[in-house]
């Protein structure tokens, strides 16, 4: 009797194991890295009336130690989801760790885009991103000023040349050399 029971238990365990394998096959996961200002988008075919749940965690990469560090307060993830017709299903800012959920109402390819809000962070990556942004703004401002200064110098040079030619013409006409 014990041998029959063990056989039945194995036989009942097999369908449960197959059911578990089928459920696991329908669930998929992604592991990826996003740079400070990078935006990562995925296109996923989703049937209608399907709930999609995404878990995420933001961490900073320390180049010197070559390890991930816990994220600083305020660092988060912006999630935007568009349906096959291009309508925005979800567009929201989240914290540094958590989950986002949406339900598809139309079947087809949905676009899921993720990017960090690191451009607003003063402490992100040791403050390098804000220094880079500030330097870029100063460079663009200086470049614009140099452009306008060179245009002003060119206009002044042309006006001075025209004035000199008129003055010399009137001088030579007064001396009756022309």
Q: Is residue 79 within 8 Å of residue 34, measured between CB atoms?
A: no
Q: Which domain holds residue 78?
A: 30-118
Most confident of 9-13, 36-40, 115-119, 144-148: 144-148
What's the CATH code of the domain at 100? 2.60.120
Q: Is residue 78 part of a domain?
A: yes
Q: Is residue 141 part of a domain?
A: no
Q: Is residue 137 part of a domain?
A: no
- Indicate the burial class of 74 (C-beta count within 10 angstroms; 0-12, 13-18, 19 or more): middle
Number of domains making up the chain: 1
> Per residue in 123-132, pLDDT tens?
444 444 577 7
Conformational region of residue 19, where left means phi above 0, alpha means psi within -120 to 50, and beta covers everything else: alpha
Examine the pLDDT at 28 and tell me if it is beyond 90.
no
Q: Is residue 110 part of a domain?
A: yes
| Residue 47 confidence class, pLDDT cut points 50, 70, 90 | very high
Q: Is residue 157 part of a domain?
A: no
Q: Is residue 1 part of a domain?
A: no
Instruction: Record the pTM.
Output: 0.50
> Per residue in 138-156, pLDDT tens?
888 999 999 999 999 999 9
> Per residue in 16-26, pLDDT tens?
333 333 333 45
């Amino acid at each position: 009797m014990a041998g029959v029971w063990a056989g039945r238990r194995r036989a009942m365990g097999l369908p449960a194991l197959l059911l578990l394998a089928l459920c696991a096959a329908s669930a998929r996961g992604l592991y990826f890295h996003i740079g400070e200002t990078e935006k990562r988008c995925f296109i996923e075919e989703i049937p209608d009336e399907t709930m999609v749940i995404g878990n995420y965690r933001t961490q900073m990469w320390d180049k010197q130690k070559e390890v991930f560090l816990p994220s600083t307060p305020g660092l988060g993830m912006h999630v935007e989801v568009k349906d096959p017709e291009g309508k925005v299903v979800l567009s929201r800012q989240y914290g540094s760790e958590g989950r986002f959920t949406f339900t598809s109402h139309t079947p087809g390819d949905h676009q899921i885009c993720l990017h960090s809000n690191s451009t607003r962070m003063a402490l992100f990556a040791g403050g390098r991103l804000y220094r880079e942004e500030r330097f870029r703004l100063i460079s663009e401002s200086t470049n614009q000023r140099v452009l306008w200064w060179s245009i002003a110098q060119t206009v002044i040079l042309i006006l001075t040349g025209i004035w000199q030619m008129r003055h010399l013409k009137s001088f030579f006409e007064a001396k009756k050399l022309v």
